[in-house]
Amino acid sequence: MSTRMARHPNTDRGSDAGSPAAAEPGKPNSGAAHISADATICFSRAQTLTQRAGREANLIVIAHPNQSMLGRRFRVSAESPLEVGRSSEVALSFPDVPSISRRHARLVFNDGEVWLQDLGSRNGTFLNDEPVREQKLLASGDRFQVGTVVFKFLHEEDAENAYHEAIYNLVIRDGLTNVFNRRRFQEELDREFQRARRYARPLALVLLDVDHFKKINDTYGHVSGDTVLRTLAHGLESLLRPEQLLARVGGEEFVVLCPETARDGAGSLAERLRAAVEELEVPSRAGRIVVTCSFGVAGLESTMRSSEELYAAADHALYMAKGAGRNRVVVYNG
């Protein structure tokens, strides 16, 4: 089985990075409406992206450090291009997000279709993880990233149904990496734990953490840090079986839920994942970003009475892996 992970492009073309904020349109007023301390949307340009043949276009915020901003929807008209940036003169303005340029990206309506352009931004604009170097046509369901803010583009006849489906995915998936989130993981862990105890079946967890992730952010910027997490998640997921669930449970922490897998089998899986991560290549303007991970593995034991005990065992093994020098696998032995 090959353990080479997929390569993904650099997302940091500049030096500025920070915590983004988003805005939700309200009622139009004179000029602009301030939605929060760090997010402004100007309504002078329009409120609905485009409508054609009954289709309505929407932008949904799906990744944002401020969790309260997730799920915010923007509708703007086709009367003029919609620009995103830090400047107060653009339609979607994020003045306190350093990773976003003053005039970062533009959405253009043309003959019923919506096109995405990068405006020479410092950190780039990315469509489905690929850099936007020339005008790109948006399709419903596409994801695009501006600085450290990620949007999902919807262009459907049933706009409300599409919006609520997107919101449901936000409940169970991590917006940045698109793998499952802590909430969905906990639900699945509790269910699998009860099943394994009831029928005396094996169950294991593989917990992993990116080594020295703060140093990566400090050295290459938060936009490149986001790319590391996204590339890592995609690569890990490509090496798992369908029944194994990958989730992001912390900033740089992931977990693999392994039903019908004993402790030793999970340990072997963790070693394959660790070796694959070592081959991971995330390019940046400063050169290749070297990524390694530490792994903690635990299997269900007869003395465990709750899923929290199984998770705590894997977490303890992860702590031991970090203390032993990182970039290694430690299996919990009770």
Q: Which residues are catalytic?
A: 252
Contact 116, 135 (CB under 8 A): yes
Contact 62, 70 (CB under 8 A): yes
- What's the CA gap between 15 and 219, in Å, rounded? 10
Q: Which residue has the tokens 């500025």?
A: 16
The DSSP-derived string for 120-131 is S-SS-EEETTEE
Task: Determine if residue 131 is left, alpha or beta; phi over 0 gives left, psi from -120 to 50 gives alpha, anything else beta.
Answer: beta
- What's the CA gap between 313 and 306, in Å, rounded? 11
- What's the CA gap between 282 and 230, in Å, rounded? 10
Contact 58, 159 (CB under 8 A): yes
